[in-house]
A = this chain, B = another copy of it.
Amino acid sequence: MYDVAIIGGGVTGLSASIYSARFNLKTIIFDPDFGGLIKTTHLVENYPGFTNVTGMELAKSIEDHARSYKNIEFKKEKVIDIEKNGDCFLIKTEDGEYQAKTIVFSTGAEHRKLNVPGEKEFTNKGVSYCATCDGPLFKDKFVGVVGGSDSAAKEALLLSQYAKKVYIIYRKEKIRAEPINLKRVEENDKIEIINNTNVTEILGRDFVEKVRLDSNLRELKLDGLFIEVGFVVKAELAEKLGVELNEKGEIIINGMSETNVKGIYAAGDCTNFEFKQAITGVAQGVNAVYSIYNYLKDYKIEPC
């Protein structure tokens, strides 16, 4: 019987495990691939204390920190179901079953699909969701970035280091990047913004060759298309346990990372907090564990 089961081992879940270990709570953390989505971010400049690191490096620093505690069990397993048994939880993975007194959902989010013809067919054949991972493959090529968020701007900036030309294709009037990144985009000669335009189809033979657009441009020749249109929260397991979600499907938590269900906590990208940063997710993970520490101190858990 574990005191705390953490579902998701990105920086949020890993930080929760650090505090859980320090509180001497018997801790297990699940993820098929520790480190989380931040590993796909090339440049992280906004985790206070690290002026300038890659997402990979930041994830490694936090994972190494967590692994320095010997009372955390790391399971490279995908959680497929969780059942409530009295005051306890039964966690099922593809490889086994585990019992825990409390759950922290730090399941994060995954890249949203564009859902246009050709997207699935050309994934990894010119269509990508991660410039950090695949950018270097497009040296001196023509690429597009679909999206208008800060992440889209950052992807375009990164791609401009490799590609000959980068188009940001955005459905609305004006991209909404952080001002510092917007300025960088505007000053970058390789980047061109195509506003008020959707990609409606991705075309090619073996690899992407062009995309169809719904504006006057009609078509654009491209060697690669990076899709950066937001995230879909992973909260099905929480919902099944009766945890309240908001209209975006995000887990609703309070300032101390408590959900509406006793013994269930959540933190990071899978929650309703709008400002989703590594640093804020990490602090939510830490707060979740403090809430658990108090919960386990004050409540008598019935054996399951």
Residues of A within 8 A of B (CB): 11, 14-15, 18-19, 21-24, 45-52, 58, 61-62, 64-66, 68, 178-180, 183, 254-256, 273, 275, 277, 279-280, 282-284, 286-287, 290
Contacts and interface: CB of A to CB of B under 8 A. Distances in A.
Contacts of A62: 48-49
Contacts of A65: 48-51
Q: Name the residue among A48, A52, A183 with the largest chain B CB count within 10 angstroms.
A: A48
A51 B22 CA distance: 12
B46 A19 contact: yes
A260 to B, nearest CB: 16
Copies in the complex: 2
A275 B258 CA distance: 14
Given A18-B46, A279-B15, A286-B279, A51 B64 contact: yes
A277 B62 CA distance: 17
Contacts of A256: 275
Contact of A180 (B22, B51, B183): B22
A10 to B, nearest CB: 11
17 contacts: A15-B48, A22-B46, A22-B178, A23-B179, A23-B180, A48-B62, A48-B65, A49-B50, A49-B61, A49-B65, A51-B61, A275-B287, A277-B286, A279-B279, A279-B282, A279-B283, A280-B286
